[in-house]
Chains A and B, each alone.
Chain A
C-alpha cells in the first residue's frame, strides 16, 4: 500500500468527523439574512422583556398638550390622537405579539402533531377520520375561521390565542402525518415492534423524534404567521382589549390620520413585517441546516 493511499484513507475518515453541530452551525450562519433574522428575534425578545426600561414613556401615558405630534426628538415617532408616544407603544406591542405567536403555535403544533402522528401511525379508518376533520378545518380560510372563533368566544388575549391555536392546526397534522407514514416503513420501527414495543412506546420513542426536523422548521415559520394573523384580527377590531398596545389595532387607529400623521400607521406595520420576516428567515436557515431536501416542500 503506497503512502498516497494511506493519506487518502485518512482523508476519508476525517471528512465525517465534522460534528453534526458544527455543520449545522456553518450552514445556518452562512446566509446574512438568517443572521439578520436571528438578531431581530433576539432584539424583540429583549424589547419585550425590558419594555418598561427601554421605552421612553409608558404605553398608556398621555401627553394631552401634545396630541398627534409629528416625530421629533421628544417623541421619536410622534404621538397618537390621545397623546401617547408611538415608539413606546410599538415597543410594548412586542409583548402581546410574541406571546400570542408562541402560545398559539404551541397549541396548534401540540394538537396538530398528535393528530398527525396517530393518523400516520395507525392508518386505515383512524387516518381517514382524522384527515377528514383536518380537511374540514382547512376548507375554511384561516383568518375567517380565527375571526369566527374569536368573535364567538368573545375576544381578549386568551380567546385570541385559542382561536388562532385551533385555526392553525392543519399544516402540523398534515406534515406530521406525511412524515409518520414514510418513517414508519423503516427497519428500526419494525425492529422496535419485534422486540415487543407497545404502540405507545414505538410511536413516542421511535417514530415521533424522527419526524421532527421539518416540523421545527414549520413551527418557526408559523410563529410569524400567527403574529401576522393576530395583527389582522386586532386590525379588524377583535383582539387584545384596548387601551393595551397591539400592532394591528395601532395600524387601524392611525388609518384615520393617514394624511397628516402617516407614521402612526407605518411604524407598527414595519414592526409586524420585521418580525414575520425574521421568523421566516430563521425558519429558512433552519431548514437548510437541518435538511436541505426540504427546500420547496416547506
Chain B
C-alpha cells in the first residue's frame, strides 16, 4: 500500500509539472499579444511610443526568452507569487484568494447535493426496479445529463426569479455578511452545478446496485431471513458504492467546468468568472494562475480518490 501511495503521489507531481508547461506554452506560443490588447483599451486616444511599449514588455517580463520567462514564473509559483494581472493591476494571488473561496463554497454544496440526493435515488431505483418510481427517476436522470447547464440556469431564472419572484437572480454575498441572502442567492447556482453530478450519480448507483443485487451473497442474506433494509444498506450498498466513488471524483473537474458557465450567468465573482474574464482580455498571468490552481485541486482530489480506491479494492494497487 505504501509503494502504491508513493507511486501515485509521484505521478501527481509529474502531472502538475506538465500542466504548468502546457498552460504556459499555450498562453505564450499561440498568437495574441496581451500588451497590445491592454494598450489598445487603455490608451485609445493617445498614440503610444516605441519606448513606452518596450517598457511595458519589460515590466511584464515579456522581452525575455521563453524558457527564462517559464523559469521565472515557476520560481514565483513555488514561492507563492503567481505574477501580476495586466488588466486589473492587482496580483494574481489576490484575485485568486478572493475568487477561490466563493467557488469552493458553491462547488462543495453542489458536490454534496449530488451525493446526498443522487446515491439514495439510485438505490431506490435499483431496489424498485421497473416500478413507476424507477421509471420516473431514471427518466429525469437521463434528461439531467443532457441538459445544458447554462440553459437550466436560464430556465430557473425565468421561473423562480422573474415569474414567481422567489429568489434573487444574480450576485453573491458571503454567508458571514448576510446568511439568509447568501443562501437565497446560492440556491439556483448550486442546483445548476449539482445537476449533472446528480444525474450521473443516480445512474451509476442504480446500475452498480442492480449488479450487486444479483450476487449470490445477497440471495444468502435474503434466505437468512434478514430484513430488506439490512440487506440493502449493509450488504448491497457497501459493494455497490465503489464505482460511484470514482465517478464522484470525476465530477470535481466537471463542477469547476460548470462554474465557468454558472458564474457567468449568475454574475458570481468566482474562479470560473475570473478565468473567463482573464481569457477574453488575454490576461495571461491570471489565466495561468487560475488554471494552475484548478488543476492542482483536481489532481489532489484524484489522488485522494485513487488512494481510497486502492484501500477499498486491493486489486488496483498492483496494476
Q: Which residues of A does B touch, CB under 8 Å?
A: 33, 132-133, 135-144, 147-149, 151-154, 224, 228, 231-232, 235-237, 248, 251-252, 255, 258-259, 262, 265-266, 269, 272-273, 276-277, 280-281, 295-296
Q: How large is the interface on B (under 10, 10 to 19, 20 to 34, 35 or more residues)?
A: 35 or more
A32 to B11, CA, bound (A): 45
Contacts of A135 in B (CB 8 A): 11, 15, 18, 299
- Please tell me if the beta carbons of A148 and B26 are within 8 angstroms of each other in the complex: yes
- Please tell me if the beta carbons of B261 and A235 are within 8 angstroms of each other in the complex: yes
B187 at the binding interface (Cβ < 8 Å): no
- Please tell me if the beta carbons of B154 and A281 are within 8 angstroms of each other in the complex: no
Contacts of A149 in B (CB 8 A): 26
Q: How far is the CB of A94 from chain B (nearest CB, A)?
A: 15
- Please tell me if the beta carbons of A143 and B162 are within 8 angstroms of each other in the complex: no
Contacts of B280 in A (CB 8 A): 151, 237
The 3 A-B residue pairs with the shortest CB-CB distance in the complex, in nearest-first order: A141-B257, A269-B151, A296-B207
Contacts of A138 in B (CB 8 A): 253, 298
- Please tell me if the beta carbons of A144 and B208 are within 8 angstroms of each other in the complex: no
A296 to B258, CA, bound (A): 23
Given contacts A152-B32, A251-B154, contact A144 B15 (CB under 8 A): no
CB<8 Å pairs between A and B, sample of 16 = A139-B295, A141-B257, A143-B260, A143-B261, A147-B276, A149-B26, A151-B279, A152-B32, A154-B32, A235-B150, A236-B264, A266-B155, A269-B151, A272-B151, A277-B146, A280-B145
- Please tell me if the beta carbons of A141 and B18 are within 8 angstroms of each other in the complex: no
Cross-interface CB contact of B148 among A148, A151, A248, cutoff 8 Å: A248
- Please tell me if the beta carbons of A281 and B158 are within 8 angstroms of each other in the complex: no
> What is the chain A residue whose CB lies nearest that of B148?
A272
Contacts of B243 in A (CB 8 A): 296
- Please tell me if the beta carbons of B260 and A144 are within 8 angstroms of each other in the complex: yes
A295 to B261, CA, bound (A): 30
A235 to B258, CA, bound (A): 13
Contacts of B185 in A (CB 8 A): none
- Please tell me if the beta carbons of B148 and A269 are within 8 angstroms of each other in the complex: yes
> What is the chain B residue whose CB lies nearest that of A277?
B146
A140 to B253, CA, bound (A): 7
Among A142, A228, A248, A266, max chain B CB count under 10 A is at: A228
Contacts of A259 in B (CB 8 A): 162
B142 at the binding interface (Cβ < 8 Å): yes
Given contacts A141-B253, A258-B162, contact A232 B15 (CB under 8 A): no
Chain B at the A interface: mostly helix, strand, loop or mixed?
Answer: helix
- Please tell me if the beta carbons of A132 and B19 are within 8 angstroms of each other in the complex: no
- Please tell me if the beta carbons of B207 and A144 are within 8 angstroms of each other in the complex: no
A187 to B102, CA, bound (A): 55
Contacts of A272 in B (CB 8 A): 148, 151
- Please tell me if the beta carbons of A265 and B276 are within 8 angstroms of each other in the complex: no
Contacts of A133 in B (CB 8 A): 18
Contacts of A154 in B (CB 8 A): 31-32
A281 to B146, CA, bound (A): 10
Chain B positions 4 through 26: 1 when the CB is less than 8 Å from some CB of chain A, otherwise 0: 00000001001110110011001
Among A139, A152, A228, max chain B CB count under 10 A is at: A139
Q: Which residues of B does A touch, CB under 8 Å?
A: 11, 14-16, 18-19, 22-23, 26-27, 30-32, 142-143, 145-151, 154-155, 157-158, 162, 204, 207-208, 211, 243, 253-254, 256-258, 260-261, 264, 272, 275-276, 279-280, 282, 287, 291, 294-295, 298-299, 302
With A139-B302, A266-B155, A277-B143 known, 18 other A-B pairs at CB within 8 A are A33-B142, A132-B14, A135-B11, A135-B15, A135-B18, A136-B18, A139-B298, A141-B253, A141-B256, A142-B257, A144-B256, A224-B146, A228-B148, A251-B150, A258-B157, A259-B162, A273-B148, A276-B147
Q: How far is the CB of B12 from chain A (nearest CB, A)?
A: 8
A236 to B28, CA, bound (A): 23
Q: How far is the CB of B236 from chain A (nearest CB, A)?
A: 14
Contacts of B253 in A (CB 8 A): 138-142
Among A140, A149, A154, A276, max chain B CB count under 10 A is at: A140
- Please tell me if the beta carbons of B291 and A144 are within 8 angstroms of each other in the complex: yes
A33 to B19, CA, bound (A): 41
A209 to B280, CA, bound (A): 43
Contacts of B260 in A (CB 8 A): 141, 143-144, 147, 232, 236
- Please tell me if the beta carbons of B261 and A232 are within 8 angstroms of each other in the complex: yes
- Please tell me if the beta carbons of A140 and B291 are within 8 angstroms of each other in the complex: yes
Cross-interface CB contact of B275 among A144, A224, A255, A265, cutoff 8 Å: A144
Contacts of A296 in B (CB 8 A): 204, 207-208, 211, 243
A259 to B295, CA, bound (A): 38
> What is the chain B residue whose CB lies nearest that of A284?
B142
Contacts of A237 in B (CB 8 A): 280
Q: How far is the CB of B152 from chain A (nearest CB, A)?
A: 8
Cross-interface CB contact of A140 among B147, B258, B295, cutoff 8 Å: B295
